[in-house]
């Protein structure tokens, strides 16, 4: 195995160096100063230059995505400082910003063109769904830190906004197949055209497939066979007088297997038995956005969408859901003020059926309604030098009550090359449908000499209503173009979490069918609190006109408060030890010649401890360092061929132990991908 990895690395390196004597083109034809002027819209919901925003912001371009060789959105997000990405299996990932990661991480708001793709049942993202093809992404805007004053509840530790390409930039046809080892395959198709000079459309489709991985412990074939399909259509029309209309339709379908360790408590010693399940998801979405400019100079937009979706886990869970979103936003500039405001409403109705005795939702049908308003004012105190920002948002939902999220920033730009900023903000995390209304067996305490009976832990809210989790924090940041070819971005933060959802023991019930077990009921309540501290750095260096290096590094530390409640204390220990203290990456993009590219990506993470479901103990997840390589050859203006090697160095590993759902860990091993991209 080790020798085959060395041969794989050597093969890609030799191909990259084959014609290095040819003259190399500058990267993207842009200077680094041009790259820092990238447009970003997610900080204050208006177009701004990345170099002058009072936030810890990072932009991943479509070129970055293409040259990464990544096949899905979570792998792309590994580029961003402050974003922790851990692979669970072929399709599932744990993704968070600034700590508190998990299979159902719920403090990072993720959007596509401003519309949340959170799964309302547990307020997290189902990354296995491929909601958008990577080829259809113009850029990804990553904002670390509180964003609730603009984007509402759940934008606690950060906001990721995926911006899709305008159909005018997708005219013509594209065929992009990928095939690789471990049964990996991907096919992207697109065609777009102009109806007239103001009207364009595009239709794209993507299919992705992966054969099962291997279990980490045994090396035998796992159950995580993946099959995804996405179809996306978009229509854009420029109406005139500053107005435009965009309409889109999207349909997705995914299938992904899993193997869960289910414990049987009717015999001693307690035994685990793997149970195979198949998860299927599908969704259909219609949406539109209209933007216009009034005679008085007010920029306005209205965006709406409707989605029907379903999720099923064989023999365990079935959900049907419809979701409606409506949002208005306005902006007006006068004197030294740039004011934005808006209002939004979301209604999501579900019908859930679950396996009785293991998972119960009460009621099994529920409609959640959330409405909010916000206002943001960026006030120029000294032109081109000092800016003060003040904003707030109020949200109300029938599942958790009302929340208020203020935000204040101060940005000092002493010259064109340097920006310093400070930020204070509060952000709420609204309890999810599952936390409020579910009863589930979450873990098992095995028998011991001191306690001869197994204890099954059942979480529920026992009819009590949960309130919002709260986060209050400060950030300091510095962004500098030190030389025309070197940029540096630094940020540090300290945040206080309160009212974190945890549990407290209540009654103990016998188990009729299992005489050697009892049920410990745990009521969920807002009982946890603690601090999180961190620092992030990113550097961008254009070493040569054809060679670019990008570095990102993150340091994170969580310190939860001690508690006399043993469940809160245990949950705090999981949070503290479940976040890697260090992680980062170094990317190299090299244009070997006008027709060849060679890219290298070193990335790694420190080790951490994870909850070993279904048992309430922690297991060590070792740290790792690995390497991706990509070589691409542009045959002509229409055809590009590429070979990508992923996870080429380091031992076989797992990156995450699934919490809450006891999935059996799989191994992540080297893979080789061959891809082509044909334009016509």
Write the CATH number for 498.
2.40.170.20
Are the C-beta atoms of residues 451 and 370 closer than 8 Å to each other?
no
Dihedral angle computed from the Cα positions of residues 565, 571, 572 and 578, in that order, rounded to the nearest 10 degrees: 170
Domain that holds residue 22: 2-679
The confidence score (pLDDT) of residue 11 equals: 46
What pLDDT score was predicted for residue 18? 43
H-type helices in 416-558, by residue range? Answer: 433-437
Long-range contacts formed by 615-618: CB under 8 A, 24+ apart: 615/443, 615/444, 615/445, 615/446, 616/443, 616/444, 616/445, 616/457, 616/570, 618/573, 618/574, 618/577, 618/578
Q: How far apart are CA 285 and CA 232, in angstroms?
A: 9
- Candidates 526, 652, 537, 680; CA nearest to 4 is 652
Tens of pLDDT along 144-173?
A: 999 999 999 999 999 999 999 999 999 999
Contact 679, 638 (CB under 8 A): yes
CA pair distance 590, 599, nearest whole angstrom: 6
What is the number of structural domains in the chain? 1
CA distance 600 to 612: 34
pTM to 2 decimal places: 0.93
Segments in the chain below pLDDT 50: 1, 3-4, 8-24, 29-30
C-alpha closest to that of 43 among 167, 142, 127: 142
The rounded mean pLDDT for the chain is 90
End-to-end CA distance of the chain: 40
Residues 6+ apart with CB under 8 A from 295: none
How far is it, in rounded angstroms, from Cα 115 to Cα 123?
Answer: 14
SS3 for 437?
Answer: helix
């Amino acid at each position: 195995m080790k020798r085959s990895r060395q041969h794989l690395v050597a093969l890609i390196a030799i191909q990259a160096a084959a014609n290095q004597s040819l003259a190399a083109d500058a990267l993207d034809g842009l200077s680094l100063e041009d790259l820092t002027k990238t447009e970003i819209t997610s900080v204050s919901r208006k177009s701004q230059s990345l170099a002058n925003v009072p936030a810890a912001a990072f932009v991943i371009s479509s070129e970055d995505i293409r040259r990464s060789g990544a096949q899905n959105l979570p792998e792309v997000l590994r580029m961003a400082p402050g974003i922790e990405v851990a692979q669970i299996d072929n399709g599932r990932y744990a993704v968070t910003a600034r700590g508190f990661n998990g299979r159902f991480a719920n403090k990072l708001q993720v959007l596509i063109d401003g519309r949340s793709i959170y799964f309302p049942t547990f307020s997290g993202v189902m990354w296995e769904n491929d909601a958008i093809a990577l080829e259809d992404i113009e850029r990804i805007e990553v904002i670390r830190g509180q964003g609730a004053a603009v984007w509402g509840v759940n934008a606690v530790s950060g906001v990721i906004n995926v911006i899709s390409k305008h159909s005018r930039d997708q005219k013509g046809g594209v065929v992009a197949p990928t095939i690789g080892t471990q049964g990996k395959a991907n096919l992207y198709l697109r065609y777009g055209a102009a109806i007239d000079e103001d009207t364009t459309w595009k239709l794209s489709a993507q299919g992705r497939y992966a054969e099962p991985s291997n279990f980490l412990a045994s090396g035998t074939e796992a159950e995580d066979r993946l099959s995804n399909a996405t179809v996306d259509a978009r229509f854009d029309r420029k109406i005139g007088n500053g107005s435009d209309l965009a309409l889109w339709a999207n349909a997705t379908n995914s299938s992904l297997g899993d193997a869960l360790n289910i414990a049987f408590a009717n015999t001693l010693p307690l035994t685990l038995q793997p149970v195979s399940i198949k998860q299927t998801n599908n969704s259909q979405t219609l949406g539109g956005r209209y933007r216009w400019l009034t005679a008085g100079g007010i920029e306005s937009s209205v965006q709406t969408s409707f989605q029907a979706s379903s999720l099923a886990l064989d023999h365990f869970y079935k959900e049907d859901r419809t979701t409606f979103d409506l949002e208005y936003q306005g902006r007006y500039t006068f004197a030294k003020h740039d004011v934005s405001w808006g209002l939004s409403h979301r209604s999501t109705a579900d019908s859930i059926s679950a396996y009785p005795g293991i998972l119960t939702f009460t009621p099994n049908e529920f409609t959640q309604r959330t409405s909010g308003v916000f206002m943001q004012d960026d006030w120029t105190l000294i032109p081109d030098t000092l800016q003060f920002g003040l904003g707030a948002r109020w949200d109300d939902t029938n599942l958790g009550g009302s929340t208020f999220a203020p935000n204040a920033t101060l940005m000092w730009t002493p010259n064109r090359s340097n920006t310093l900023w400070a930020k204070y903000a509060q952000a709420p995390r609204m309890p999810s449908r599952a936390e409020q209304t579910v009863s589930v067996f979450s873990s098992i305490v095995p028998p011991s000499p001191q306690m001869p009976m197994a204890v099954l832990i059942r979480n529920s809210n026992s009819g009590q209503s949960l309130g919002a989790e709260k986060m209050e924090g400060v950030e300091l940041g510095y962004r500098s173009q030190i030389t025309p070819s070197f940029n540096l971005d630094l940020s540090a933060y300290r945040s206080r979490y309160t009212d974190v959802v945890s549990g407290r023991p209540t009654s103990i019930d016998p188990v009729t069918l299992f005489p050697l077990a009892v049920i410990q009921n745990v009521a969920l309540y807002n009982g946890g609190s603690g601090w999180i501290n961190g620092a992030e750095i990113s550097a961008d260096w254009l070493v040569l006109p054809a060679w670019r290096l990008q570095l990102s590094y993150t340091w994170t530390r969580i310190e939860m408060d001690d508690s006399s409640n043993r469940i809160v204390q245990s949950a705090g220990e999981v949070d503290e030890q479940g976040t890697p203290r260090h992680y980062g990456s170094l990317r190299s993009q090299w244009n070997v010649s006008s027709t060849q590219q060679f890219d290298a990506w070193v990335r790694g993470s420190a080790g951490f401890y994870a909850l070993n479901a279904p048992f309430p103990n922690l297991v060590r997840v070792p740290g790792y360092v690995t390497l991706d390589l990509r070589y691409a050859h542009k045959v002509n203006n229409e055809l590009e061929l590429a070979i990508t090697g992923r996870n080429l160095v380091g031992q076989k590993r797992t990156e995450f132990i699934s919490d809450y759902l006891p999935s059996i860990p799989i191994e992540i091993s080297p893979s080789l991908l061959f891809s082509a991209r044909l334009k016509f």
